Structure 1
Amino acid sequence: MASNPPGICCLVAVKHEGVPTGKLIDFHGIETYTAGDATSKKIVVIVTDIFGHTFVNTQLIADAFAAQGYYVLVPDILKGDPIPYMSQEELAKYNLPGWLSRHTVEITEPIVTGVIANIKADFAPTSIGAVGYCFGAKYVVRLLGDKAITAGAIAHPSFITEEEVEKVTLPIIISAAEVDRVFPAENRAKTEAILVKNKATYEITVYAGTTHGFACRVDPTIAVQKYAKERAFSSQVAFFAEHLK
C-alpha cells in the first residue's frame, strides 16, 4: 500500500476554538457545509476525515479556504455516522473496525463522485480542487486518477493503494507527519517514486514534530504542531492558486 489502514491515531483530535461562518445546506440530498461565494467559478471540496462535515476544525478550514476566494463544500460523506469526539479512555475502547465496515469504498465513493458530478452540473466551475484528510485522502487520489477534478491536496493519508497512485498524473500536494504509522517514510518514498515516474506535478512536505492528523486535529497550544498545521494549509493555498484557474 502507498498508505496503511487507519488506526487509533486516526481517532485522536483536539477541538479548535472559533465560530464557523458558513452554513449547512441540503446539496442534492446530502447535508453539506458551505462557505464562501457560490458564484465563484473556483470550487474546493473538502473530503473529510472520520470526524465528518460538522466537526468544527474542518468547518474552520473550509472558512479559511473560502477567504481565499473559493466556494467551498464539505459534504457528509459518512451518511450521518461520524466518529464521536472522545476522551483518551473512550478511544481505547472504540470499535474502529466496525465503523470502517460501514464506510467501505463501495459505500463512500458514490457519495463523493455524486457530489463532484452535481457541482459540475450546478455551477459549471472553471476548476475544482479537492482536499482530503486521512480517511478522505483516498477519495481525492481516486478523483485525481479519474481526472474528475483539477488538482488535489491530501494530508496524512490512509487506505491508499499503490494502484490508485499509479493513475495520478494531475497536480497533487501531500502534507505528511514525521511520525505516522499510517503513512510512514517507506510509503512516502513509494508514493513519490510513482509520481516521479508518472511525471506528475507534485509536492511532498514532511513536518517535523508532528504525528498523524496534524493538518486538521493538532493541539494548537504546541508551537511546532501549530506551525505545521498553518504551514500545511498555506502550502495548499499556494498550490491551488497555481493550479486552480
Structure 2
Amino acid sequence: MSGHQCCDNPPTLSASSGNGRVEDVGGVKSYVSGFIDSNAAVLLVSDVFGYEAPNLRKLGDKVAAAGFYVVIPDLLYGDPYSTGQEFFSWLPSHSPVRDKGAEDTKPIISHLKSKGISAIGAAGFCWGAKVVAQLAKTDDIKAVVMLHPSLISLDDIKVDQMSPPELVRQFKDVVKPEVRIL
C-alpha cells in the first residue's frame, strides 16, 4: 500500500476538466479523449480519487494526442475517496482486490472492440494498478503499466510470461547505472 502522503494531498476534482468529454462507455460513465476511429485504445484506471482528477484527464488528453482513444472509467461509481473519510473504512466497499474493477472493465473492452479497436493497453495509478494487474491476466489487454502501485501481490505479477526472471536479470545488467566523472 502506498504511504499516507498519497491521500494527504488530494487533487481538486473537477467534472469539467480536460479537453475530452464524459460519456457512457459499455455502461460505465467515463471520461474519453481522442477519436473512436483509432485502432488503438488506452484505459487509464484512476487512483482512489477517481476519474475527475484534472491531472489524470490531462494525461489522458496527451495520450489521445499521440493517436490513441483514451477511456478513463469511473470505476468508483461517483464515490471517490475524500480526505474527510477514514480510508480503511472506505476501502472495503471500493476494493479492486475482489476482481470487481477488472470485471467492470469487460463491457468497456467489448464496446471498444465493437468499434473496431484492435489493440488495448491499460495503465493504473495506485488503486487502479491492482485493476490493470488483473486485466494483464486476460488476452484483451496488449500492454499494462502500473504507476506507484498499491495492493499488488506477487501472484499478480506471476502472470508475466513475457519477462521471465532470467530476462529480468539481463535487463538489470543492461540498465545498471554507470557512474562516470566527466
Q: TM over 0.5: same fold?
A: yes
TM-score, normalised via structure 2 length? 0.80
Distance verdict in 2 for CA 1:198–1:147, change over 3 Å: farther
Contact 2:42 2:68 in 1 (8 A): yes
Task: Give the whole-Å Cα distance in 2 for the aligned partners of 1:27 and 1:126.
Answer: 16
Matches for 1:164-179 after TM superposition, within 5 Å: 164-170=156-162
Which of residues 93, 118, 126 in structure 1 aligns to 2:111?
A: 118
Task: Give the whole-Å Cα distance in 2 for the aligned partners of 1:132 and 1:77.
Answer: 12
TM-score, normalised via structure 1 length? 0.61
Contact 1:47 1:132 in 2 (8 A): yes
Q: Percent identity?
A: 29
Distance verdict in 2 for CA 1:61–1:166, change over 3 Å: same
Deviation string 1:59-79 (CA, Å, 9 cap, x unpaired) is 111001011010000011111
| One-letter amino acid matched to 1:98 | S
Partner residue, 1:52: 50
| One-letter amino acid matched to 2:144 | G
Q: Which runs of 5+ in 1 are unaligned?
A: 171-194, 206-245
Matches for 1:122-141 after TM superposition, within 5 Å: 122-141=114-133
Matches for 1:9-28 after TM superposition, within 5 Å: 9-13=5-9, 15=11, 19-28=17-26
Contact 2:11 2:49 in 1 (8 A): no
May I ask how many residue pairs the two structures share in their alignment?
167
Task: Give the whole-Å Cα distance in 2 for the aligned partners of 1:113 and 1:97.
Answer: 27
Partner residue, 1:98: 89
1:67 aligns with 2:35: no
Contact 2:124 2:147 in 1 (8 A): yes
Please give the root-mean-square deviation of Cα atoms over the aligned residues, in Å: 2.7
